[in-house]
Structure 1
């Protein structure tokens, strides 16, 4: 387990995102590679996804790109 500070943004694993969308975790990885979903890499190379962005996508709200 990692310690989170109170202001840390919640991150989800590919399996958690896949459960929310009812798809395979590999589909979530494909979405990230296609740019449909922003992924963050952990020090170990694993992908994590911002909960706020995932929930917005789930609700049909188009993602806002930082720029």
Structure 2
């Protein structure tokens, strides 16, 4: 996980834990845990308390998850 002082430096729209949770239909705490454990790419805000998730990474993970769900 990275700590970046300028979130715009990533060049991607950043999503909050709540936004990620809505996409995956999980609790925001689960999304935050995925970020801290590395299951999803996450960046800590400069204050170090909150996470932001690169939108492209989240959508890629969501696509993989959807593909796996279709196999079952």
The TM-score by the shorter chain falls in which range?
0.7 to 0.9
Aligned residue pairs total 57
Gaps of 5+ in 2: 1-6, 66-72
Gaps of 5+ in 1: 62-67
Superposed CA RMSD in Å reads: 2.1
TM-score by length of 1: 0.73
Higher helix share: 2
- Structure 1 residue ranges, 4+ long, deviating more than 3 angstroms after superposition: none
- Bigger relative contact order, structure 1 or 2 (CA pairs below 8 A, ≥6 apart): 2
